[in-house]
Amino acid sequence: MPNLKDLKNRIESVKSTRKITKAMQMVAAAKLRRAQDAAEMSRPYTERFNAVMAGLAAAAGGEGAPKLLSGTGSDQVHLLVVMTAERGLCGGFNGNIAKLARSHAAELKAQGKTVKVLTVGKKGRDAIRRDLEDSFVGHVDLSEVKRVGYDNAQDIARDVLNRFDAGEFDVATIFYAKFQNVVTQIPTAQQIIPFSVPEGTEADEGTLYDYEPSEEAILADLLPRGVATAIFSALLENGASEQGARMSAMDNATRNAGEMIDKLTIEFNRSRQAVITNELIEIISGAEAL
């Protein structure tokens, strides 16, 4: 049985930990509101952009279509852009995205495909390095970025597009967590090259548009922008998901610390009572001996 001093030190240690987790929970809650608003405000634009792109792609499909729409004619080499957080202590947020990416990579390799991995966020890099280290082709470090903006998405998109133009891959897929609520963040895979209509997106067929100069020319300009838009949307969803997951994880940690303090306090009181009882027995025994 631990002595009273050890129990007291342990109680103080857990109390200090509870203060830290409570503070982190409050910080995450404050950041969540801003990140959630940014993610939700970007969704209407992204959905409308994808709807317009879907309509253009349907009209311009076939010969003469831009390479970002028609593809290279092969799907042998796949680039996986795994987007996670720069920091941990956010529950299963990073692990779930990495797990989805590893599963997708395993399926592709089982089909005889070549897999390349570009990571955004060091936690994703650390999580899948053991299994896919030979497939790594690059990493984007956002640890010094205080607030992710469209410029960051453009830099990532420019890197991906340059690799595509250089013939380094045929298909690109991004992996991120779509924010639903504080408790639920859904790991998501979305193909961005060649352009693929996201699930649930419907082309606007109720209105006829005349495009000038042509659908192909407009797509040639919009498709690179669409890659940056998809990446920016994923970064915003990840930002909200990370703070929601951290808030939930720190809330659980705070409550677990409180339960541990209660148990240790009971054990401390029992041990102190046992010590007092032994001392009283020794005093009474000594008095009777006299």
From first to last of its 290 residues, the chain has per-residue pLDDT tens of 568 888 889 999 999 999 999 999 999 999 999 999 999 998 898 888 888 787 777 766 556 677 888 888 888 999 999 999 988 888 889 999 999 999 999 999 999 999 999 999 888 888 888 888 888 998 988 888 888 889 999 999 999 999 999 999 999 999 999 999 888 899 999 999 888 877 666 655 555 566 666 666 777 778 889 899 999 999 999 999 999 999 999 999 999 999 999 999 998 888 888 878 887 777 777 777 66
In a domain, 143, yes or no: yes
User: How many CA within 13 A on the CB side of residue 190?
Assistant: 25
Distance (Å, rounded) from C-alpha 79 to C-alpha 170?
A: 8
Domain with 128 in it: 42-247
In a domain, 102, yes or no: yes
In a domain, 239, yes or no: yes
In a domain, 9, yes or no: no
Q: How high is the pLDDT of residue 202? A: 61
In a domain, 35, yes or no: no
208 in helix, strand or coil?
coil
User: 94: closest CA among 116, 142, 127, 119?
Assistant: 127
Cβ atoms within 10 Å of 22's Cβ, excluding its own: 16
Q: How high is the pLDDT of residue 174? A: 95
User: How many CA within 13 A on the CB side of residue 147?
Assistant: 7
In a domain, 276, yes or no: no
> Structurally, how many domains does the chain consist of?
1
Spatial CB neighbours of 159, under 8 Å, sequence gap ≥ 6: 118, 138, 140
Q: How high is the pLDDT of residue 215? A: 66
Cβ atoms within 10 Å of 18's Cβ, excluding its own: 18
**Left (φ > 0), alpha (ψ -120 to 50) or beta: where does 148 sit?**
beta
Hunting for tokens 């209660």 — which residue is that? 262
In a domain, 67, yes or no: yes
Active-site residue (options: 53, 90, 108, 171): 90
Q: How high is the pLDDT of residue 46? A: 87
User: 187: closest CA among 278, 275, 113, 82?
Assistant: 82
Q: How high is the pLDDT of residue 210? A: 64
Q: How high is the pLDDT of residue 252? A: 93
Residues 204-228: tens digit of each pLDDT: 555 556 666 666 677 777 888 989 9
In the residue annotation, 69 being an active-site residue is answered as no
User: Which CATH number characterizes residue 55's domain?
Assistant: 3.40.1380.10
In a domain, 121, yes or no: yes
